[in-house]
Structure 1
């Protein structure tokens, strides 16, 4: 069994990584662990084909890995802890992990600022018609400036409604204030005044939506939030609202958002996350008022390195028997 007792004195703990990492992150991990990388994607679905996995007590997965009850049961007995290189953990069956006695960690907080930057990019890209602008220039069709060309909508003086005022939501609000936006939010509970920083609290989505000229989804995917942005809620937005989603694709009912983008109930949308990634709803591709990014919210090298450091800290704490706030099971 690959545990602390079976490791040679001074040997690094053995870590199995299911996915590729930037060189900078691999170097950080190599300083602390004897890391073994999967030979191909989907290692957890075929653990018998990855001999290095059986020799490891620690595993690092990411959001594209499915660690359901069957995958948890199929892990070698040597595996004692799993860290996911993500904030979201919907891909992990926590109940199954607890039943097996498997420790689970995730990487919150360190990617909040990067995600907030992309949140503003989504709002700007949608409001300022970036998809159409890029197509016009790259397609060679631009004939020069005119006062009628691709007029969009400004952020200054507009009301931004934030659904989910956790750390990412608050970082988005901070940046939106710099654009002169008035911040409103809906959250499970009201924030302390110092965290609100002047934002206006709404006790229900039904109160928030009618005032949201811009709407940003920044909450986790839960039983209460999956399918949150449906036709009924879209109808409560001011006509011509602009919607951004930096959270999870499952918060949006695609058919309802597509319909609203076609009618103008939603003037434009900025999406970084999608249902069934990477299989995006095909109707979005026909909508020039839909600004799309390929789930790059946390994609800065600085954030990737910080996520790696948090993984290292978490797994080393596990081996020492120390608690960490980011332990899920």
Structure 2
């Protein structure tokens, strides 16, 4: 058979593609730091049997309808809310993602964000850069303890469990809320299952690790922040769409909660004029949860393995539907 044609929507290292070059013909967008434009993606996709896409590419019913020859889309992420999964199923197109390989790396970043927010590290760093460190005083840049506090994890998937393991190293009490209970995690970590309201009222740190769905869109809003402790810190390392950012900014400004750390936003990228960036008690990162060199390479390889298994093996390794 002719080698399947794969279009890649962002420039990737050729060294990662080389081991697969005898089985695929690759075409690739020529820029690493700029998403492919919609017209270019549509044009190139019409020549392809499969795609490797990023979260920046919105794959909807119309796009899939105009590409009936496509067989598989390998999404370079755990999340896949950029792809209309029901439409893909309707058009008999397989969609895969990259779970597991980024779990520990994302958990590292999530816990680092929690600590940076609690101990006001970014604020302290900025203060020195602005020549604001003039004298020591007992409560100078005093933050919040992490050890022996209560962490509430909303969404106890692979990453949630990995964050919980890190929390236990700080002697934290671990609460979680999930669509289904995790008896083994409760035993091994240990962790305690509670309803959502209990988690909000009891936790010193509320960590969102839930996917973006119609049910979770804007879940963390004014009413939810009011239920949290006034000393609580909110962390979002899942999807920006689950947070009402205006309500979060209001909660931070008015002392409803103490702080927030975010790696994701409802619209990305954000600029320096974003409301939350004006607040000292908000730590904002540019969606770098899985951004280590090794993990990103592993994610690319899993995308390629999914394509290889689909075209030449027993089916994709990590299908999402």
TM-score, length-normalised on structure 1? 0.89
Give yes or no for contact 2:186–2:192 (8 Å, CA) kept in 1: no
Q: Deviations over 1:34-80 (max 9, x none)?
A: 32112463355444654xx44431211010001011111222x4422
Query: What's the CA shift for 1:325?
Result: 5.3
Q: Does residue 187 of structure 2 align to residue 198 of structure 1?
A: no
Deviation per residue, 1:225-281 (Å, 9 max, x gap): 111111111111111101100000111111111111112221111100001111367
Does structure 1 conserve the Cα–Cα contact (< 8 Å) formed by 2:307 and 2:316?
A: no
* 1:130-186 CA distance string (max 9 Å, x none): 221111112222225433320101101100000000000000010111112110000
Aligned match of 2:308? 316
Q: Partner residue of 1:327?
A: 319
| Compared CA separation, residues 206 and 220, structure 1 to 2 (3 A) | same
1:44/1:71 contact within 8 Å kept: no
Are the aligned partners of 2:277 and 2:284 in contact in 1 as well (CA < 8 Å)? no
Q: Which consecutive segments of 4 or more residues in structure 1 shift more than 4 A?
A: 26-32
Aligned ranges 1:55-94 → 2 under 5 Å = 55-75=47-67, 77-94=68-85
Aligned to 1:42: 36
The aligned runs of 1:63-142 (5 Å cut-off) are: 63-75=55-67, 77-142=68-133
Measure, in 2, the Cα distance between the counterparts of 1:255 and 1:225.
16
- Whether 2:252 is the aligned partner of 1:258: answer no
When the two structures are aligned, how many residues end up with a matched partner? 316
**How does the TM-score come out when normalised to structure 2?**
0.91
Is the CA contact (8 Å cut-off) linking 1:163 and 1:217 kept in structure 2?
yes
SS of 1:266's equivalent? coil
Q: Quick one: structure 1 residues 128 and 48, their matched pair in 2 at CA, closer, same or farther if it must change by over 3 Å?
A: closer
CA distance in 2, matches of 1:260, 1:119: 21
Aligned to 1:211: 202
RMSD over aligned Cα atoms: 2.1
Q: Say if 2:260 is the partner of 1:297.
A: no
Q: Is the 8 A contact 1:28 1:308 kept in 2?
A: no
5+ unaligned residues in a row in structure 2: which ranges? none
Deviation of residue 221 (structure 1)? 1.2
Q: In the superposition, relative to structure 1, how do residues 48 and 164 fare at CA in structure 2: closer, same or farther (>3 Å)? A: closer
**TM-aligned CA deviation for residue 97 of structure 1:** 1.4
